[in-house]
Amino acid sequence: MTAQPHDAGTEALRAWVAEQLGHARDRTRLLTDAVDEDDLIRQHSKLMSPLVWDYAHIGNQEELWLVRDVGGREPLRSDIDELYDAFQHPRAERPSLPLLNPAQTRAYTAEVRDKVLDILDTVPLEGRRLVDQAFAFGMIAQHEQQHDETMLATHQLRQGAPVLSAPEPPAGRRLPAAEVLVPGGTFTMGTSTEPWALDNERPAHPTRVASYVIDTAPVSNGDYLAFIEGRGYDDERWWSPAGWAHVRGKGLVAPRFWERDGGEWWRTRFGVRERLPLDEPVMHVCFYEAEAYAAWAGKRLPTETEWEYAARHDPATGRTRRYPWGDADPAAEHANLGQRHLRPAPVGAYPAGASPLGVEQLIGDVWEWTSSDFLPYPSFTAFPYDEYSLVFFGPEYKVLRGGSFGSDAVAVRGTFRNWDYPIRRQIFAGFRCARDPRPGELDTVE
Ligand code: AVJ
Ligand code: FE
């Protein structure tokens, strides 16, 4: 197990914070330096903000929490708070606001960062919940990485020649089994100890799970193609009423960014048109498509409790761990995270990331839709602000787990909860299936 920076003393913690903030900023700059001024200002899709809005919003959140609150310093630009408040202006409206231009945005975010690094040198990292174990700094590093993933999704929606590149992910392999039986039990869901866990992951609470069967890998493009060729989009039987109304209303016939050309399937990824890779996890499907595929396959989506139990429970010791592979922070051999590659890795590419029962690629590659609504855990309290989680709880959002190739390790945990509307397809989301055990299947464990 790697040393947890939070246990290694305050100087090591400060160095770790500075590294995480620097790493996030390098990525923000890579994503924004890759395109010209016009592409920074333009709205590439009604679903997304202009890239220059995300960039200045990153700086503004950092100013609000770290410069003004934690640092107790004077505002740099209180006049722009309203422009970059996500609740004041829906995404579609953002391009018509009097936003900072790209040069002003770069100067503003750099000035905020200078002040923050200065504050980080001296501020006590204990005594107040907001600064305890550098929580506010961790929250801001995660916030920047979350917007970086959003900006990466904007890149995927952008028309034009490719501007991003990265090495290919490792090769896949055939898994020993397509699904495994997970014997039921009790585990600790959520966390009260992970220092940088956000409010909706808290508190830790004992949770009972019945036995179930779960796929050892996310559903692949090849698997999903069989559903399409089997006329799955034309058969109401597989769809929920809301899913059927949606798919028919929009005329959906395949995942977003897929295209049939003659007898061949192609997809476009960050401006590159390529033959559909059959062994890669399917992505850019909405919750309704995931649900329909699962029904067609004679299965269902896992609940988020089943997902977390598969990812964290160690049957050998009965312990609940941080990740499928144990307690160590994610390393390159465990999971496809952090935009190291510009695509999910083929099925079987991360044997070192397997859970004790052999469930793979739970972390990284694609966000996984679950069947669960986004709801608070028992005894939830909003911290440090209602607009991170509290205002979103309810049945209109579905929970996604595990992070994607575009999520940074600092913003992905075994406990991390993402959420979105069930119709959304621009995010890097796929899914895996689960099912109830068949009669007799449990005999081997009980
Ligand atoms: C947790 C990814 C749903 O991007 O809407 C960013 C994260 N919250 N700024 C989002 C977030 C405030 C959030 N998600
Ligand atoms: Fe934000």
Atom of ligand 1 nearest to the CA of 61: 9
Amino acid found at 98: P
Q: What are phi and psi of 317, to 5 degrees?
A: -110, -15
Q: Tell me: cis bond preceding 195? Omega within 30 of 0 counts.
A: no
Ligand 2 centroid–CA 147 distance in Å is 6
DSSP characters for 323-361? BTTBSSPP-TTT-B-TTSSSSPPPTTS-GGG--TT----
How many whole angstroms separate alpha carbon 252 and alpha carbon 233? 8
Best mutation site among 58, 60, 61, 146 for ligand 1 pocket (most ligand atoms within 8 Å of CB) = 146
Residue 323's closest CA among 369, 364, 368, 363? 363
Ligand 1 centroid–CA 147 distance in Å is 7
* pTM for this entry: 0.97
Q: What are phi and psi of 175, to 5 degrees?
A: -80, 150
Atom of ligand 1 nearest to the CA of 57: 9
Confirm if 361 and 345 have CB atoms less than 8 A apart. Answer: yes
How many whole angstroms separate alpha carbon 355 and alpha carbon 364? 14
What pLDDT score does 2 carry?
40
What pLDDT score does 3 carry?
44
- Both structure tokens of 286: 């909405």
Burial class (CB in 10 A: 0-12, 13-18, 19+), 74: exposed
What pLDDT score does 445 carry?
55
What pLDDT score does 1 carry?
33
Write the pLDDT tens digit of every residue in 337-351: 999 999 999 999 999
Ligand 2 centroid–CA 268 distance in Å is 27
Low-confidence ranges of the chain (pLDDT < 50): 1-3
Domains of the chain: 10-157 (1.20.120), 168-446 (3.90.1580.10)
Pairing verdict, β 367-374 and 429-430: parallel
- Both structure tokens of 72: 């107790």
Ligand 2 centroid–CA 118 distance in Å is 23
